[in-house]
Amino acid sequence: MLFVGNLSKSTTEEELMNLFSQVGEVTSLKIMTDGVSGESKAYGFLTMSAESEADHAVSRFNAYSFRDHALKVSLAKPRVQRGLAVPFYRP
């Protein structure tokens, strides 16, 4: 999975699909939006069909100028689980 940041707030999923399809098959894509207003948060995530395509997308599109914004493209970091930490208890 790839992280794509610094998007223009008016960038559409279709535009991103067309851009990243230049380097391989995009299997999923989601631009994140505010749950209340529906406005773009200016970042999203996408998955390519092969790891080599994802690597190519990072090298080709990181710092790429798209709609007057320098994209930030990287491998997505695993999501950190939030919640209370439960200490290990040993009697």
Q: How far is CA 81 from CA 71, 78, 84, 85, in A?
A: 27, 9, 10, 10
Report if pTM > 0.85. Answer: no
Report how far residue 60's alpha carbon sits from residue 23's, in angstroms, rounded to the nearest whole number.
8
Q: How many residues does the chain have?
A: 91
State the pLDDT at residue 49: 96
pLDDT band at 91 (very low <50, low <70, confident <90, very high): low
DSSP single-letter state for residue 23: S
Provide the 3-class DSSP secondary structure of residue 14.
Answer: helix
- Give the CATH fold of the 2-74 domain: Alpha-Beta Plaits (3.30.70)
**pLDDT tens-digit profile of 46-69?**
999 999 999 999 999 999 999 999
Q: Domain locations in the chain?
A: 2-74
Contact predicate 30/43, CB 8 Å: no
Give the mean pLDDT of 23-29. 97
Cα separation of 33 and 27, whole Å? 20
